[in-house]
Amino acid sequence: MNRRFRAISVPIAILIALGTAPLLSGCVGNPVEGLVNGAVKEATGGSVSLGGELPEGWPAEVPVVDGEILFGGGGSAEGEQGWVVTIKSASADPLADARKQLEEAGFSSDAEAKASGGDAGAVAMKNANFTVLVAGNADGVLYTVGVTK
């Protein structure tokens, strides 16, 4: 695992952990969002969205599949910026759609950076500015984005 990935993995793990409990409640406009946002800002200097929108600072050159945004967050660690977003999609194959959109936006993948198991899979892609890991199944996808150096 390279240093850049480790640098963004901690804030992303925090964001995912903090976002999971409120998402399970199914509430829109959850009052926990203010508390979560405060905790994330304190821990990472970033922000979190518990549904409906991409996180603050999401890179415009990283396209996302159509669907309901369930969770989004961004933060930094050791000067490295990162974002995470989960999207529930009605597409038959959201992971394939995500990969196609990224390829059309100029991202490329490493043949060794693909994984699958059952109905789930993951692919890592990058361009000159960003590295994107997309994991998904028939229900939707999880994007993890970091800045490429």
Kindly state the tokens that stand for 40: 């994330």
User: Domain residues for 109?
Assistant: 3-147
Is the pLDDT confidence value at 28 over 60? no
Burial 109-120 (b: 16+ CB within 10 A, else e): beeeeeeeeeee
Domain count, the chain: 1
User: Which band of pLDDT confidence, cut at 50, 70 and 90, is reported for residue 48?
Assistant: low
Residue 109 has what pLDDT?
A: 87
The alpha carbon of residue 23 and the mean position of all alpha carbons in its chain are separated, in whole angstroms, by 15
